[in-house]
Amino acid sequence: MAIKRIVPLLLAAGMTLSLLSGCQPQTQQSGGGDQTPFSFEGWESGEVDFPEGQGLAAMEQVASDGDLVLYFDKQSMDFAVEDRAGGKVWYSNPLCDPDFDGSAEDSSRALVGLTVNKDGKETGYDSFNNCVETGQFSVEQIDGGVNIRMAVGQNKVITASDLPQAVEKNRFETAILAQLDEEGKAVLEKRYTLYSVNDESISERKLTSALERFPILQERDLYILNNGVPDFAAQEVKGYLDSIGYDTEEIQKDNDDNGVDLLVEELLRYDLELRLTLEEGRLAVNLDCSRLAAETDVPVTSISLLKMFGASTAEEDEGWLLLPDGSGSIQNINGENSAYPSYSIRIYGEEKAIRKEQQYSATEPSVLPVFGQKLNDSGFVAMIEEGDAIASVTTNLKGSAPFSSVYPTFQVAEAAMIDAGFADAQASSNVPMVQPVTFTGNIRVEYAFLHGEDADLGGMSRAVRERYQELGLLPVEKAEDAEVPLNIELIGSVDKESSFLGIFPVRRQEAATTFEQAREIVQALHDEGIGPVNLLYLGWCNGGLYTKQLNKIKVEKALGGADGLAALQASLESAGDRLYPRVELVTVSNLDGFNTKKMAARALGNNLSTLYSYDVATGNHYDYRIGTYVAPAALGGYVSSFLKSYDTLGVNGLNVSDIGRDLFSDMNKEAGLNRQQSLELVGEALDSLSGKDLMVSVGNAYTWPSASYITDIPLDSSRYNREQYAVPFVQMVLHGYIGYGSSPVNNSADYREALLRAVAFGAHASFRWTYASSSFLNGTYFIDNLSTDYRDWLEVAAGYYARASADLRKIGTADMVGYRQLQKDVFETVYANGVTVIANYGDGPVTVDGETVGAQDWLCKGGETA
C-alpha cells in the first residue's frame, strides 16, 4: 500500500528529483573540521510517494561484500541487507518489508530518533517525519555503501518573517555579503534594498514608508527586506545565511538593533551524518554527531539508532532478543511477558555523576556492549564499538507493539532534575539541568549476520570474540590450561570505635585478618586439598577498608606492616598461590587529605560527586561516610603516583575493584568530560597498569586488554519480568581466553545457588572471609558482610572444590559453544571439547537422559576424567 503525502512548498519550482537522493545540500562539508550547517533544497512542491511493503523492488543495490548485499531507497531512506548464504533479507523497518501486513506509525521508518530537552521538557524528532518527508537530506554513494547527510527537527515553512527585516549597511556588506560567493551575493542583493535618507534616487513615497517602519533609518543606512518575498525565495535566502553561520540569534540581533518588534522563532534542526557500509562481512553503521552544537539552548539528549532493524512481525516467528543485562538475558520474540514495563540496559552501569538518592532494586552490571536477535533460522549480533560508554539497549515486544526488535540508544547529554538547594523550603528546589559537556563524537555499531546452527548464542559469541580479537580487546591465543584456583577475599584492617583513656570516643584500626593469620588460612585450605589459591586482600593499607587516597602507600601496622606483607607474598609464591592486594583507583572512600577541589569529579549541578552506600532494606543511601569519584582528567597522575609507591612493595599481583565497575562523566562546568571521554582516560590508566598481574573486578569490556583475570563477573541477569532467563553470553565470549571468578558466595542470598551458577557458567568460586569471628564486624560500617568467619565455611569450600575443580579441569580452556533450557529450572552448558554441564536450579531432583540431577546441583558429562 502506498501513502501519499502533501509536502509544503519549500522551494522554487523547477528543481528536479533526478539527483542521487532526490534532494541536494546547497553547502558541502569540506574536511572534518567544517561545521557549516547543512542546507537542503528539499522536495519539489507537490506530492511525494513513500510506498510501503515493496521490499527490494523499491530499492537499488548500492554495495556487496561476500554473501551480503546492501540495498537502499534514496527517496524514503529505507534499506535492507540480504544475506544470500542464509536466504534472509533484513529490512530496516517493517513498513518496507513485503511480509508485514499490519499497521505501524510512520516513525517506524526512521533510522534515527532524537530526544531534545528544553527547560526540562523532552520532545522527540525522527529522521522520517522530521527529515525524509520534507526532503531535508542527501545521499551519496560511497565505497561499500551510502553516506547520508540529514537535518532532523521541526518541519517549518521558511517565510519572510524568518529573515532579518533590516540590517545596518556596513554589517550587511561585511558580515554577510563579503562571506558569500557571487551567486549568494546576487540572491541577497535581489531581495534586499539599500535605503538612505540622503539617497535622492529613492522615491519620497518609499522613503516615507521605510521611515515609518524603521525610524532608526534617520540615523543609519539600512538594507531592508523587500515587500512580498515569496516563501521559496525566503528559503533560498535563509539557506545562504545558514551557510555562513548567520543564525537565528544573529537575525534577532539585527531586528532588535533596528527597532523591529518581531520575535524570530528558533527552528530546532540538528545535523547528522549517517554512513551505512558493508565491511568484512558485516554491516557497519556510523553516526557522526560532531555537528550537534553543545552550546545550544535546546540540546539533543539522546539518539536512538535503527530502532526497527530486523523487526519480527509474524505471529509464527520463533526466536529471542539478546540483551547485555549482567551475564546476558533473553526475551521471547513472540511477545511473552510484554505486559510488563519496558526497560533499558545501560552499558557499563548507571551514570554515577547523577546523584541517586534511592536504589530501589539491585541490578546486575552490564559489561559487554553487545545485543542480538534470533529470528527463526537466522540472526544477527550487534557490537557497539564507538559510543559504548553512553549506550543503552532497549527492546520492543509484540503485544505492546506490532513487532519485536532490539536497538541501541545513546545518551549524548545527561539531563535530570537537580536539587538547587534553595533556602525557601516551600519553593521547589529541583531545577532541570543538562550536562555541560555533551557527546559530539562518532557512534559505530557493527552487525554480524548468522544463519543455520550459527544463529544461536554459540555463533553470536564466536562472532563477537573474533571481532574483539581483531580489535585487540581479547587475546588471540588461549590462556594456559592451568590449575583451577579458589578465590579467597580476606578482610584486613577495619576502623572500630574505641575510647581514649576509657573516656573519649575514638576510632582505631583493628585487624580482622593479619598477614600471619592469612598464611594460616591458606595452609588450612591446602590441608583440605584446595589449591592454588588466589588471595585477594581487602583493607591492607591507608586506613583499611575505609581507604584514604593511594598516592602514597602505607601498609597497615595492625596487619603486620610492610614486612608482614612481604612474608605473606613469599609464602604464597613458594606454594604456587598468588597475592592480589585490592585497591580502589577511581573512587576514594575516606576524603581525609584528598584535594577534592583539584582531584574530585563533579556531579550534575557542579556539586562534588558522591560515592553512596545504600541500605539493603530501604534502598536509601547512607548519609555518613560519603566518598567521591576521582576526576578522569586527574586519574593518570593519580595512578602514576600510586604505581610508583606500590612498586616499592615488590608485589606484582594487583586487584583493582572499581576501574572495571564504575564509569562516570565529570560535570565540572570549567573542565568537564562526558562518559566517552572519561572512558578514553580510564583506558590510558589501564595501559599503565598492564605491566602488573592485573585482576579487575566486574570487568567492563574496556578492561579486557589489560586484565589477566576478572573477579566478581556477573553470573546472572537482573531478572526483569520481561525476560525469559539469564544466559552466560559474556562467559561464552571470554571462556578460555581470560579467567574469571564469581562474587563472594557467602555474601549471596543463597550460597548453594551461587556455587551452582559458578560451575554452570565456567567460573571459579570466591569467598570473603575473616580470621576473626563474624561478630567482629558488628558496630562497624561494613555489616553487609554477613558471615565471614573462615572456620564456618572451610568445609563448604572443600566439598565444593573437590567436585568443581575436577569438572572444570575436564572443561579446561575449551570454548563455551552452547547454552539451552532443558526444562523448567534446568539448563545445559555445552563446550567445544564435548563436555556438558547440566544445572538444576529447582527445589527437587530431575531426570535428564536417564540420569538424576539433585536439587540445586549439577552433573558434568563427557570429557576425560582428571
List, for residues 376-425, the tens digit of each pLDDT value. 999 999 999 999 999 999 999 998 888 999 999 999 999 998 876 544 44
Could you read off the pLDDT of 821-845 as tens digits, one per residue? Answer: 999 999 999 999 999 999 999 999 9
Closest CA to 696 of 717, 684, 711, 676: 711
Question: What confidence category does residue 113 fall into, taking pLDDT thresholds of 50, 70 and 90?
Answer: very high
Q: What percent of the chain has pLDDT over 90?
A: 76
Output 32 or 705, whichever has higher pLDDT: 705
Could you read off the pLDDT of 192-229 as tens digits, one per residue? Answer: 999 999 998 999 999 999 999 999 999 999 999 999 99
What is the per-residue pLDDT for 617? Answer: 59
What is the per-residue pLDDT for 60? Answer: 97
What is the per-residue pLDDT for 12? Answer: 28
Closest CA to 113 of 91, 128, 134, 103: 128
* The pLDDT of residue 148 is above 50: yes
Closest CA to 757 of 769, 745, 739: 745
* The pLDDT of residue 26 is above 60: no
What is the per-residue pLDDT for 781? Answer: 74
What is the per-residue pLDDT for 358? Answer: 62
Q: Which DSSP category does 147 fall into?
A: E
Give the separation between CA 456 and CA 438, rounded to whole angstroms. Answer: 37
Element counts in the chain: helices (H) and strands (E): 14, 45
What is the per-residue pLDDT for 24? Answer: 43
Average pLDDT over residues 307-318: 95
Average pLDDT over residues 593-619: 84
Average pLDDT over residues 448-453: 97
Label the pairing between strands 739-744 and 628-629: unpaired
* The pLDDT of residue 708 is above 70: yes
* The pLDDT of residue 126 is above 80: yes
pTM: 0.88
End-to-end Cα separation, the chain, in angstroms: 65
Closest CA to 353 of 384, 395, 390: 390
Average pLDDT over residues 161-168: 95
Give the separation between CA 149 and CA 151, rounded to whole angstroms. Answer: 7
Give the separation between CA 79 and CA 61, rounded to whole angstroms. Answer: 10
What is the per-residue pLDDT for 18? Answer: 31
Give the separation between CA 741 and CA 750, rounded to whole angstroms. Answer: 17
What is the per-residue pLDDT for 266? Answer: 74
Question: What confidence category does residue 33 fall into, taking pLDDT thresholds of 50, 70 and 90?
Answer: low
Closest CA to 628 of 638, 618, 619: 638
* The pLDDT of residue 28 is above 50: no
CB neighbours of residue 765 within 10 Å:
28
Q: How wide is the angle at C-alpha 722 spanned by C-alphas 717 and 725, nearest 5°?
A: 40
* The pLDDT of residue 10 is above 70: no
72 touches 18 (CB < 8 A): no
* The pLDDT of residue 357 is above 70: no
Output 607 or 421, whichever has higher pLDDT: 607
Question: What confidence category does residue 3 fall into, taking pLDDT thresholds of 50, 70 and 90?
Answer: very low
Average pLDDT value over all residues in the chain = 90
* The pLDDT of residue 9 is above 60: no
Contacts of 755 (CB under 8 A, 6+ apart): 745, 765, 800, 804
Average pLDDT over residues 505-531: 94
The amino acid that residue 441 corresponds to is: G
- Lowest-confidence region among 89-103, 254-268, 394-408, 756-770: 254-268
Closest CA to 714 of 379, 416, 329: 329
* The pLDDT of residue 512 is above 90: yes
Question: What confidence category does residue 51 fall into, taking pLDDT thresholds of 50, 70 and 90?
Answer: confident
